[in-house]
Amino acid sequence: MNTPPLPEIFGNYALKGFSEVAPPADINWLPQTVGWLWFAVAALAFSAYYLLGVLRRWYHNRYRREAIARLRALADKPDSTELIGDINRILKITALVAYSRGAVAKLSGESWVNFLNQQCDQPPFNDQQFQLLANTVYHLAKPGEQPELIQASLHWVEQHRVDSGKGTKHA
């Protein structure tokens, strides 16, 4: 089907010879000044620095995560006669990583538990737990004491501070 041709004069006669206005170019949403570029670079550098700090702390605290996993594995075991010795070993390994070997390796008995209590703002080991850890070879934990001792040990592993002035390996 063919449509008839349009007449020479078509549409609104008042708009004859009127040119349509062209719209402006789209607005670019990217910053156009150098100041924004400097701000973006500074923000990116700060973010990278912060992320590296977080990753460094995460990496340096891997010994804490390992000690916590081992202590929780001890908590899942049924009552063991070697529990206090195992806890002491885990705490000693953790302390050797966090502090200098010369400061930790020679400690035993009451001086060992005093050292542990001094590394936290609030001493995690009460008098009863102090005696259990100090006299590992001579005492056995009663069934009710074991979960409390493991909780106190977990608290120490999570909360001990690593002073840079004491010859530590890392902060």
Average pLDDT of each block of 10 consecutive residues along the chain (171 residues)? 73 74 86 90 97 95 93 79 84 90 86 88 85 73 75 91 56 43
pLDDT of residue 146: 79
- The answer as to whether 135 is a domain residue is yes
In-domain check, residue 149: yes
Is residue 32 assigned to a domain? no
CB atoms within 10 A of CB 90: 21
pLDDT confidence of residue 79: 64
Look at residue 53 and tell me if it is in a domain.
no
What is the distance of C-alpha 12 from the center of its chain?
A: 73
CA distance linking residue 83 with residue 57, whole number of Å: 30
Cα 147 to Cα 76: distance, rounded to the nearest angstrom: 10
3-state secondary structure of 154: helix
Question: What's the CA gap between 95 and 113, in Å, rounded?
Answer: 11
Judge whether 20 lies within some domain.
no
pLDDT score for 138: 62
- How many independent structural domains does the chain possess? 1
Rounded to whole angstroms, the Cα distance separating 46 from 120 reads 32
Quote the pLDDT of residue 110. 87
Instruction: Please give the distance of CA 168 from its chain centroid, rounded to a whole number.
Output: 20
Per-residue pLDDT, 166: 45
pTM over 0.85: no
Count of C-beta atoms within a 10 Å radius of residue 125: 23
pLDDT at position 167? 44
How far apart CA 83 and CA 74 sit, in angstroms, is: 7
- Residue 84: give the domain boundaries: 62-166
